[in-house]
Amino acid sequence: MKKGDLLSFLIFILLIILLPVISGSTYTITVGIFSGINALVAIGLCILMGYAGQVSLGQAGFYGIGAYISSILSVHAGLPIVISVICAMIVAAVAAMILAVPALRLKGHYLAVATLGFGEIIYIILNEWGPGGPSGFGDIPHFGLLGYTIGSTTGYFYLIWGLVAVVMLFSINLINSGTGRALRAIHDSDMACNAMGLNVTALKIKVFILSAVYASLAGSLYAHYVTFISPSSFSLFYSILVLMMVIVGGITNLWGAVIGAVVITVLPELLRRFEELDVLVYGLILTLSLMFFRKGIVPILIEKIKKLREFAVAKH
Amino acid sequence: MLTVFLQFLFSGLTVGAVYALVGIGFNITYNATSIINLAQGEFVVIGGLMMWFFAESLKLPFLVSVAFTIISAGIVGLLMERLTIKPLKNPDLLLMIMITIAVSIVLRGILMFAFGKDPYVYPSFTEGEPLSIYGAIIQQQTLWVIGITGFCIILLFFFFKKTMVGKAMLACAVNPTAAKLVGINVSRMVMLSFVLSAVVGAIGGMAITPISLMEYDKGPMLAVKGFCAAIMGGLGTNRGAVIGGFIIGILESMTAGYIHSGLKDAVALIILLLILFFKPAGIFVSKAMHQLRKF
């Protein structure tokens, strides 16, 4: 791990530990939990988009697979929750592989369209054949490990953000490894990578599967937290939301995905006061930030810090 | 048997006509700018709701309402292009697409605020007995929808083939730099393409509302279906979008009728995936043509 990454990671851990301590309100911690769940999905999409240069509008599909498969397995088959979460991840990985093999041959934005189609098909399947149909089903057990159930909001907060930290650690290492360099090379030029002897397609498929597994994990965690799920949480709108998180945070930086997830999750909460106008204000903020801060929050901040530092050096 | 089949066929043709119009809307902006405007579905909703506003709420005469609806949709298209697309300097395509999604959320927010969440409907354009063919009932409005779609297609065909402005728009699509060199105002053509696609979408919305009602959040699904239609025929070809729209519409209503109504929406998407996997260029575009495209 690089020095800068290590530092940001430590600050990140510190923030996670401190937030529930500083803010005692359950409401803030709950919003924090949803931010963390969304961050998991966003990190996966960020690796896929920012590093492998592929766009997916179907993350809601994998998120839904994670939520439904692990709920069904734990409610109807009585499997331990950890096992059902892992099973859901495997199902999502297989689905991603089946989709990726033909889809990743597609050029640029056609991939976005194919994944959009996939996500919507999953949505329709959940509506038609999911337990409870469009109205969903409840009584999903809370997440637990080795007989110990996590019931408290703060406990769940630490579980979710602990997992975000683990996923983040894994992803940072992945990006700084040889695989990460290969991925960035794919982003720049498919053809050059092929010429260098890299198996571009295999790498793309692997990253796509990774992003699906992250999304599935997030979906399972969501289901075992809210204990009630219905298809409407897994529609195209969610995929678009995740895409917004990655773009708003900054596509070229993994921390951007985390910060973008927090911003996009918190924003609607802040907009509650606009009541009927909330959708409108939300859309306006998105439009303006896409237009004027198109690099994303984190890269812009990094640039600012660099400039400040140069300024300080020049002064000496 | 035949009666039921015909009945499904006619309802398929009706929705298919609207998908075709949405698909054409996608093509118009795509041809001039390479942007996929995902706010296309909202234009259809604007058409239906504004028509209700002028004809039912303000009680304006029919033709005046139609004219006002078309003008207001055109203004929305114009504002969208001038305010969000034009100010960007060399943006990438993904960002453009995201911006159109954000704009569609804004439009939906405005529509929800102005019209609420209820569905709206107004009477058919002409009153009278429905027609009956082999026992299948055809509402007069169905004929209006199909007729209006056909009329739009013919008009657009002449616009792009015969008029100077239409040809200039096509030129921008083929090569913007060259178009600029021969004195075409590319920026104005881009603006025009947004206005035109908004108008085409709104016309579809006006025609379909008496049959299928209209509410503020119908846009995204219409956009997805219309996009499927456009991709199916090959993005950029209007003939393809029309045939794609009708195929999707008919298959949808057949699925709803013969198999299961809940699967109706899956049909377009499955077709979309199959087309993308096996013939991504679309049915009517050759592979060589497809590779020339940026997207």
CB contact under 8 A, B109 and A55: no
Residues from chain A that touch B276, judged by Cβ atoms under 8 A, are 102-103, 106, 110, 113-114, 117
The percentage of residues in chain B with a pLDDT greater than 70, rounded to a whole number, is 95
pLDDT, greater one: B118 or A110: B118
Ranges A93-97, A174-178, A245-249, B82-86, most confident: A93-97
The predicted model scores a pTM of 0.85
Give Cα A106 to chain centroid, integer Å: 23
DSSP letter at A273?
Answer: G
A291 inside 8 A of chain B by CB: yes
Tokens coding A234: 């897994």
Q: Which of A75-79, B144-148, B150-154 has the lowest mean pLDDT?
A: A75-79
* Beta-sheet pairing, B136-138 with A144-145: unpaired
Model confidence band, residue A78 (pLDDT cutoffs 50, 70, 90): confident
Structure confidence by residue, pLDDT tens digits, A190-245? 777 777 777 778 888 889 999 999 999 999 999 999 989 999 899 888 998 898 88
Find where tokens 């969304």 sit.
A38
B224 to A240: CB separation less than 8 angstroms, yes or no: no
Specify the pLDDT at position A309: 84
Q: What pLDDT shows up at residue A146?
A: 63
Reported as a single tens digit per residue, the pLDDT across B21-34 is 999 999 898 888 77
pLDDT at B293 over 60: no
**Token pair in block for residue A307:** 């400039």
Taking phi over 0 as left and psi of -120 to 50 as alpha, with beta for the rest, B217 belongs to alpha
- Cα A28 to Cα A21, A24, A254, B96, B104: the distances in Å are 11, 8, 24, 34, 30
Q: How far apart are CA B233 and CA B72, in angstroms?
A: 30
A98: nearest CA partner in chain B: B277
| The two structure tokens encoding residue A242 | 């995740």
pLDDT of residue B89 exceeding 80? no
Q: Are B157 and B170 in contact (CB under 8 A)?
A: no
Every domain of chain A and the residues it spans: 31-234
CATH class of B2-292: mainly alpha
Which position has the token pair 């931010």?
A: A35
- pLDDT of B231 reads 85
Neighbours of B246 (CB within 10 A): 20
Report residue A131's pLDDT band, with 50, 70 and 90 as the boundaries.
confident
A247 vs B: CB within 8 A:
yes
Average pLDDT over residues A23-48: 91
Residue-level pLDDT at A108 = 61
What is the average pLDDT across B202-207? 93
A44 and A182 Cβ atoms separated by less than 8 Å:
no
